[in-house]
Every structure is written in structure tokens, then in C-alpha cells.
């Protein structure tokens, strides 16, 4: 039997990357999908694709940085499907650059999406999850375990998401709600083509070699499996697992490695 038959999944950041791959994987597992993101045109194309395959899907424009958007999207989900069983807070992007070159506004913009956007998502869907004794999935990152040079805003935001997941894991357990933190390493998505303003740049060069990137479809299968099993955390990609393990066992090693790599990068510029 499909693992999410007769369940409704509410998904932010569904227009591309891991979000779109998750929508397809949840649909294969029998779920009805509520697809949200800022780019409604992309959502409608994805919803039509899922509907053509026999799935139930609803596209709803939603900006996680705007108060009220998530509540409106949740209301549409209830009207269409009657209940919400899984909430996936996936929307996010990365602000990068040397600390001295970044402004306070860069940090605010990063936190508004990656932290307050997650908080808005959780608050908007919490009562629904209490009723369904459902599943909450928070999209963290390996960068929520290890902070790399020239990525302080992104790492700070993902450390905050990990802290939230750890707190909610205990708080929501009495309501029958599981909390799963997803911590991906390098996955083949558009995130490294999005600039510090949150705008997509097709011409941007991806600094991560292709051989090191996991296909989004494979990552989605692992995430859906972890969600079904109500796992507390799932670290996605072999290199992500390796870095987190090394960071735990040898906490001084990763900072030294990052420092050396940072020096090499600066010399190569």
C-alpha cells in the first residue's frame, strides 16, 4: 500500500528543486498535494503534471515572508481536501559572501525566509496537525551542523531551524505529532543559482562539482521514507553524513579544513 494514501501534504517551496521532487514522490505514495511557492505559473504546471498521473494536487501562490499568506493557503487546503496530515517547511534560499561584505539587511532577508518563514508555516498548520496527529518536516541542512566560511547567514539560519526542530520534537510529541529534521548536503537543485536577493540567475556558475551532487529525485525518496517512519532527523548525501560525523567526533578538524580551503580559494581569485 502507498505510505500516504488518503493523506494531505502541505508543501512550501514546491516550484523547483527538492520541493518539486518531493511533490512527485509524495504523489507516488498516494498523497494529495497542496503546492505552495511564489511562482504560481510553475506550481500550476507541476499540479497539472501530478493530476495527469492520477494524483490530487492544488497550486496556491504563497510567500512565506508575508504575514497571512500561509493561513490563506492552509484554508484552501482544508476546503479542497478536508484535512492536513503532513506539513513540509521546505521554502528557503542561501545568502553567501564574506561577513565584512554583507549588510545587516542581508542577514535579515535570510532569516525572514529561512527562519521566520518556517515559523509562519508551523504556526499556520499546527492545529491541523494536532487533529490528524500528523507529521511536521523541517528542511534544515548540513550547514545547520557545520558553519562554513562565506556562508554565515545561511548557516546561522539552518542552525536556528535545527534548534527549533529539537525543541518541537519534545513539545509536540504529546499531541502525536512527529517532527523530522531533514539535513541535506549537496543536492542538484537551483539553490546555488539564486542570488542574495532571492532572485534566480540562470547564468550563475555552480561552484559544486556535479559528481558531488545527489539527484533531487533520490533525495526526495529518502526524505519521504524518513517522513513515513517519523524519523527524528535524516541527513541526506554520503558526504553530508561524513562531515557531520567528523564534526561530532573531531570537532576541531572541520574548522581547520574549512580554513585551509578558504585560503586556497582566496589565493585563486
pLDDT at 254 over 90: no
What digits encode the pLDDT tens for the residues 104-133?
A: 999 999 999 999 999 999 999 999 999 999
What digits encode the pLDDT tens for the residues 191-230?
A: 655 656 656 565 566 566 667 778 999 999 999 999 999 9
Instruction: Confirm whether 264 is domain-assigned.
Output: no
pLDDT at 147 over 70: yes
Domain that holds residue 95: 8-239
**Do 89 and 138 contact (CB within 8 A), yes or no?**
yes
> Which one-letter DSSP state was computed for residue 150?
T
3-state secondary structure of 54: coil
Of 3, 8, 46, give the one whose Cα is nearest residue 28: 3
Kindly list the catalytic residues: 154
Instruction: Confirm whether 98 is domain-assigned.
Output: yes
Instruction: Confirm whether 184 is domain-assigned.
Output: yes
Confidence of residue 83 (pLDDT cuts 50, 70, 90): very high
Of 230, 223, 232, 225, give the one whose Cα is nearest residue 187: 223
Of 36, 40, 28, give the one whose Cα is nearest residue 4: 28
Enumerate residues 6+ apart whose C-beta is below 8 A from 79.
none
Instruction: Confirm whether 245 is domain-assigned.
Output: no
Instruction: Confirm whether 252 is domain-assigned.
Output: no
Instruction: Confirm whether 269 is domain-assigned.
Output: no
3-state secondary structure of 180: strand
Q: Assign residue 225 the CATH number of its domain.
A: 3.40.50.720
Instruction: Confirm whether 160 is domain-assigned.
Output: yes
Instruction: Confirm whether 14 is domain-assigned.
Output: yes
Residue with cell 500528523: 134
Question: Which secondary structure element, helix H or strand E, spans residue 37, and what is its range?
Answer: strand 32-37
Could you give the number of structural domains in the chain?
Answer: 1
Amino acid at each position: 500500500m502507498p505510505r500516504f494514501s488518503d493523506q494531505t501534504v502541505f508543501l512550501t517551496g514546491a516550484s523547483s528543486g527538492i520541493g518539486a521532487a518531493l511533490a512527485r514522490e509524495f504523489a507516488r505514495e498516494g498523497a494529495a498535494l497542496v503546492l505552495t511557492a511564489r511562482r504560481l505559473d510553475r506550481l500550476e504546471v507541476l499540479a497539472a503534471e501530478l493530476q495527469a498521473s492520477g494524483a490530487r494536487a492544488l497550486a496556491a501562490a504563497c510567500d512565506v515572508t508575508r504575514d497571512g499568506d500561509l493561513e490563506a493557503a492552509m484554508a484552501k487546503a482544508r476546503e479542497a481536501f478536508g484535512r492536513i496530515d503532513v506539513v513540509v517547511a521546505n521554502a528557503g534560499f542561501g545568502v553567501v559572501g564574506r561577513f565584512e561584505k554583507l549588510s545587516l539587511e542581508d542577514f535579515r532577508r535570510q532569516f525572514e525566509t529561512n527562519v521566520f518563514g518556517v515559523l509562519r508555516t508551523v504556526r499556520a498548520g499546527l492545529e491541523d496537525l494536532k487533529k490528524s496527529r500528523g507529521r511536521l518536516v523541517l528542511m534544515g541542512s548540513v550547514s545547520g551542523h557545520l558553519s562554513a566560511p562565506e556562508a554565515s547567514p545561511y548557516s546561522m539560519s539552518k542552525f536556528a531551524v535545527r534548534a527549533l526542530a529539537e525543541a518541537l520534537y519534545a513539545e509536540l510529541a504529546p499531541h502525536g505529532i512527529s517532527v523530522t529534521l531533514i539535513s541535506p548536503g549537496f543536492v542538484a537543485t537551483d539553490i546555488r543559482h539564486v542570488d542574495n536577493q532571492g532572485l534566480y540567475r540562470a547564468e550563475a556558475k555552480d561552484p559544486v562539482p556535479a559528481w558531488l551532487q545527489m539527484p533531487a529525485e533520490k533525495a526526495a525518496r529518502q526524505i519521504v521514507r524518513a517522513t513515513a517512519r517519523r524519523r527524528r532527523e535524516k541527513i541526506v548525501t554520503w558526504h553530508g553524513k561524513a562531515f557531520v560525523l567528523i564534526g561530532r567526533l573531531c570537532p576541531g578538524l572541520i574548522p581547520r579544513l574549512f580554513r585551509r580551503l578558504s585560503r586556497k580559494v582566496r589565493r585563486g581569485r
